[in-house]
Amino acid sequence: MTRTLVDNIGLLVTNDPSIDGTPLGLLPDAAFVVEGDLVTWVGPSQIAPRSEIANRVNAQGRCVIPGFVDSHAHLVFAGDRAAEFRARMQREGYDAGGINYTVELTRKASNGQLLQSARRLVAEANAAGTTTIECKSGYGLTVDDEARSLVVAKQVTDETTFLGAHVVPKEFRDSPDDYVDLVCGPMLNAALAHSKWIDVFCDKGAFTADQARQILKAGIAKGLLPRLHANQLEPGEGVQIGVELDAASVDHVSHISDADISALAKSNTVATLLPAAEFSTRSQYPDARRLFEAGVTVALASDCNPGSSYTTNMPFVIAIAVRDLRFSPEQALWSATKGGAMALRRTDVGHLSVGASADFSILSTPSYIHLAYRPGVPLIDEVWSHGNRIK
């Protein structure tokens, strides 16, 4: 097995609190060893093992961080909504109405076109330091179009999510309950082989709390794991449903009550914030400080989709979180790595300690603070996934 030594790391972020007693587990002047696809040694550069090393990567004092874990993305769709974005920036607010436009284009696209577009987005994400990405369906909304969306998703990631309950498609406008039955029955059955997760957009203009509960329970009964879009556009029961069903994560959470926050704090459910969506729709940001004060586990993700957040760039998400949501740079980096891993219930990614997947980025800078301090500047020099250099 090839042994690679990464040494002369100015600052290594391990996310292993046993290193320094802080969540980021910071180690200055560090090195680590990769064997195959795993990290097998971490420690001071001076005492790094140097025998039988096939490959040496000299970090030359730069900062090394775990690969970003982007736990919320919609990557299977056709076309874009640039005109909607332009109109929204001038005057109109965001609602979920544009989703059906993307559904129309997605239904017309071939599997090859959808795969090419999803791969392009994953390549973009990889180049910006993302090494694990979740991918939802949700722009097909027929049995066949949801199934083929998930077949495409499965070709770009193992973290695939059935989101047949994104919105009620036009043809079911007058009979939404029939659509819910379709989602819970034939569509779910067709999605099962290609999905790990089930998600529902529980919000204004999408699905009610009762419908969300029914759909998530149907998925759970067939072995899928629940997560949901909750409280993005207005207050509601989304967070409570997530906690009640032990969802891995409730996502967006821009409109939440004290009761929602205390329920989350007592649960295993992560709150995943998607501030690039609020940025791109000029909407109210979630109150991250309140979540942190209550001890809620917080993740950051891109929400990449053609409507509300057309970005795959996690450093950009970190920059918004630090500037506008008042995360500390440490909280933001942790939430974009370990927090994302927890939102996917993964223990093998989001950290760099012995036994972890060798997924990491070498920044061009001596510190991770620069990710927010130098917004919009590409600072990711190298990206490694499963022990292989991909950038």
- Given Fe ion, ligand NIG, none, residue 88, with its beta carbon under 5 to 8 Å by kind, binds none
Q: Does 215 bind ligand NIG (CB under 6 A)?
A: no
The residue among 67 and 275 lying less far from ligand NIG, judged by its C-beta, is 275
Q: Distance between CA 308 and CA 374 in Å, rounded?
A: 24
Q: Does 308 bind ligand NIG (CB under 6 A)?
A: yes
**φ, ψ (nearest 5 deg) of residue 190:** -75, -25
DSSP letters for 126-185: HHTTEEEEEEE--S--SHHHHHHHHHHHHHH-SEEEEEEESS--GGGTT-HHHHHHHIII
Which residue in this structure is represented by tokens 């529902």?
200
Q: Does 164 bind ligand NIG (CB under 6 A)?
A: no
The residue among 42 and 288 lying less far from ligand NIG, judged by its C-beta, is 288
The residue among 304 and 349 lying less far from ligand NIG, judged by its C-beta, is 304
Site for ligand NIG in 330-389 (CB under 6 A): none
- Given ligand NIG, Fe ion, none, residue 307, with its beta carbon under 5 to 8 Å by kind, binds ligand NIG
- Measured from the Cβ of residue 320, the count of other Cβ atoms closer than 10 Å reads 23
Site for ligand NIG in 278-307 (CB under 6 A): 303, 305-307
| Region of 96 on the Ramachandran plot (φ > 0 left; ψ -120 to 50 alpha; else beta) | alpha
Q: Distance between CA 141 and CA 391 in Å, rounded?
A: 35
Q: Distance between CA 278 and CA 233 in Å, rounded?
A: 10
Work out how close the CB of 201 gets to ligand NIG at its nearest, in angstroms, rounded to a whole number. 5
Q: Distance between CA 191 and CA 325 in Å, rounded?
A: 36
Work out how close the CB of 93 gets to ligand NIG at its nearest, in angstroms, rounded to a whole number. 13
Work out how close the CB of 132 gets to Fe ion at its nearest, in angstroms, rounded to a whole number. 17
Instruction: Pick one of 15, 232, 311, 365: the residue that binds ligand NIG (CB under 6 A).
Output: 232
| Binding stretches for Fe ion (CB under 5 A) | 303
Which x/- pattern over 195-214 shows residues binding ligand NIG (rule: CB under 6 A)? ------x-------------
> Which residue stretch of 98-106, 146-154, 255-263, 371-379 sits at the interface with ligand NIG (rule: CB under 6 A)?
98-106
Judge contact between 269 and 250, C-beta under 8 A.
Answer: yes
Q: Does 98 bind ligand NIG (CB under 6 A)?
A: yes
Q: Distance between CA 328 and CA 365 in Å, rounded?
A: 18
Sign (positive or negative) of CA dihedral 187, 302, 307, 291: positive
Give residues in contact with ligand NIG (CB under 6 A): 96, 98-99, 102, 201, 229, 232, 277, 303, 305-309
